[in-house]
Amino acid sequence: MRLVDKGVNTLAYGGQLVADHPGLTDASYRARRAALSDLAAAYRRGDPVPAAPYAGEEHDLWRTCSKELAERHERLACDEYRRGVEALQLPGDHVPQLTEVSALLAPITGFRYEPVPGLGDGWFMSTQYIRHHSVPYYTPEPDVIHEVIGHANQLASPRFAGLYRKVGDAVRRVRSDQAVQFLSRVFWFTMEFGVVHEDGTLRAYGAGILSSFGELEAFRGADVRPFDIAAMGAQPYDITRYQPVLFAADSVDDLVATMTEFLDSYDDDAYARYARKVA
């Protein structure tokens, strides 16, 4: 998921592949991507969530990625996320449809998945396409493995789910583009790429790290800075490379307390105060 998705169009739904995309020359993959893009574009809240057409090799791909990521999570994911994994019990043998993810998640924290980009009140809006099976450990864009293994396991933690709700509330409160951008950067460096000190080591809670083989192996080598809302909101990021700078919370308790205070009081005036701090 991207918090801020401006210019929603077929590109945003993943309907067109860029020139170096690994699926570009696979006609049936392109057809499935186009079909998913059309489903997402036609979707309106309240409609039945449409089922995505996945091929056999895509279920195999999910099986491989689920297993490989789960092994790394044992070592590198924070306890709170792993409790979410335990509670959610995602299937390991097939790509779950978004309705299946919602059926597992809603009884735990009330969140449901729907097939358009963004974040709404109690709704997590997700892409449905999956990376190309020729490159199981690489995706040039966030796919259903990121959205579900990364984010749904987070959303199965009541504490993390509470933060997502507060992010949604804060997005609706702010008016200026700069205040939205500040919030989206804080989101990026927490729910997407957040790390936390735990048991004398550094572990990940961010969905972007926890759904990426490369980032899982690399994040401990980043420039890891102390948790600081003003610094995160001012830090630019590049989605196309491993994150060179990360911000580490002292504990999940600290993270939740600091983010709750920030999100509950965040508005355009608060943004101005944070911006002055780092100016």
Supply the residues annotated as catalytic.
Answer: 146, 151, 192, 211
Rounded to a whole number of angstroms, the minimum distance from the CB of residue 279 to Fe ion is 29
Min dist. Cβ of residue 18 to Fe ion (A): 19
Distance CA 124, CA 68 (A): 25
Residue 199 Ramachandran class (φ > 0 left, ψ -120 to 50 alpha, else beta): left
For Fe ion, the closer of residues 1 and 270 by Cβ is: 1
- Count Cβ atoms below 10 Å from residue 38 Cβ, excluding itself: 14
Which letter does DSSP use for residue 251 in this model? -
- Report the nearest approach of Fe ion to the CB of residue 99 (Å): 20
Q: For Fe ion, which stretch binds (CB under 5 A), given 1-9, 15-23, 126-134, 156-164?
A: 1-9
Amino acid identity for residue 276 in this structure: R
Strands of 118-242, DSSP E: 118-120, 123-125, 195-198, 201-204, 223-226
Hey, which residues between 207 and 246 contact Fe ion (CB under 5 A)?
207
Q: How far is the CB of 56 from Fe ion (least distance, A)?
A: 27
| 114 DSSP β-pair partners | 125
- What distance in Å separates the CA atoms of residue 3 and residue 109, rounded to the nearest whole number? 20
Binding part of the chain for Fe ion, among 69-77, 83-91, 157-165, 202-210 by CB under 5 A, reads 202-210
Largest CA distance in the chain: 54
Contact 125, 114 (CB under 8 A): yes
Q: Is 1 in the site for Fe ion (CB under 5 A)?
A: yes
- Residue closer to Fe ion by CB (options 52, 207) is 207
Closest residue by beta carbon to Fe ion: 1
Which region, judged by CB under 5 A, interacts with Fe ion, from 76-84, 119-127, 200-208, 250-258? 200-208
| DSSP 8-state code for residue 16 | S
Which spans of this chain sit near Fe ion (rule: CB under 5 A)?
1, 207
